[in-house]
């Protein structure tokens, strides 16, 4: 496996240019500054590993949006698995970890809880739609699929969300906030 052909100065320049974008996006999805910082680092590791692909992007920011979205979705799923393990620990009589401190708006917690339980392609579209407030045409352009596909996936996401929410899955306590405070406009 060849070593990435990139030097430190080039990486620092990437941070100056795209760091704020990646961190903000990660924070919007994960709702936690510390998690967002770590996710940002993960994104840049991905950039370094796929440098030639990154350099070939005509819209690097769109590429970074996609990568950041996918990595954050993985984190949300990992977080869900951790919570489930903690719930099992509680069943065993052990103490679960304290829930995420601070008020979490119901709708945002709902979204994050559902994101952890649906297919990647549905979750991805839901983030662009609900977190980024993008319209279907813009999401289609970002993901390189037709607008019709986006509409179909959003419908499926809603069906899945209804199913998940109908199962009474607890999504509010530790689910976090998909959009950071002060970011809605």
* Among positions 5, 45, 85, 146, the unique one binding other proteins when judged by CB under 8 A: 45
Contact 43, 71 (CB under 8 A): yes
Among residues 185, 168, 183, 153, which one has the least CA distance to residue 24?
183
Q: How distant is the alpha carbon of residue 10 from its chain centre?
A: 26
Q: In whole angstroms, what is the distance from residue 142 CA to residue 144 CA? A: 6
Of the two residues 80 and 112, which places its CB atom closer to other proteins in the complex? 112
* Among positions 52, 53, 55, 61, the unique one binding other proteins when judged by CB under 8 A: 61
Indicate whether 90 belongs to the interface with other proteins (CB under 8 A).
no
Q: Between residue 143 and residue 182, which ones bind other proteins under the rule CB under 8 A?
A: 158, 161-162, 165-166, 179
Q: How far is the CB of 55 from other proteins (least distance, A)?
A: 14
What is the pattern of x (binds other proteins, CB under 8 A) and - over residues 115-134?
Answer: --------------xx-xxx
Q: In whole angstroms, what is the distance from residue 137 CA to residue 142 CA? A: 9
Of the two residues 91 and 98, which places its CB atom closer to other proteins in the complex? 98
Of the two residues 18 and 30, which places its CB atom closer to other proteins in the complex? 18
Residue bearing tokens 């919007």:
28
Terminal CA-CA length for the chain? 45
Indicate whether 104 belongs to the interface with other proteins (CB under 8 A).
no
């Amino acid at each position: 496996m060849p070593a990435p052909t990139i030097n430190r100065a080039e990486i620092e320049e990437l941070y100056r240019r795209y760091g704020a974008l990646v961190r903000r996006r990660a924070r919007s999805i994960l709702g936690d500054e510390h998690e967002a910082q770590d996710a940002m680092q993960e994104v840049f590791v991905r950039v370094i590993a796929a440098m030639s692909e990154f350099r070939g992007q005509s819209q690097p920011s769109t590429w970074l949006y996609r990568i950041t979205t996918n990595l954050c979705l993985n984190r949300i799923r990992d977080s869900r698995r951790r919570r489930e393990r903690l719930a099992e620990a509680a069943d065993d009589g052990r103490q679960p970890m304290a829930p995420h401190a601070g008020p979490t708006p119901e709708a945002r917690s709902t979204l994050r809880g559902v994101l952890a339980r649906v297919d990647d392609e549905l979750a991805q579209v839901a983030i662009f739609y609900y977190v980024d407030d993008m319209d279907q045409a813009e999401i289609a352009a970002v993901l390189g699929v037709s607008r019709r596909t986006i509409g179909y996936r959003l419908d499926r996401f809603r069906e899945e969300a209804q199913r998940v929410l109908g199962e009474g899955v607890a999504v509010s306590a530790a689910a976090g906030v998909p959009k950071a405070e002060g970011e809605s406009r």
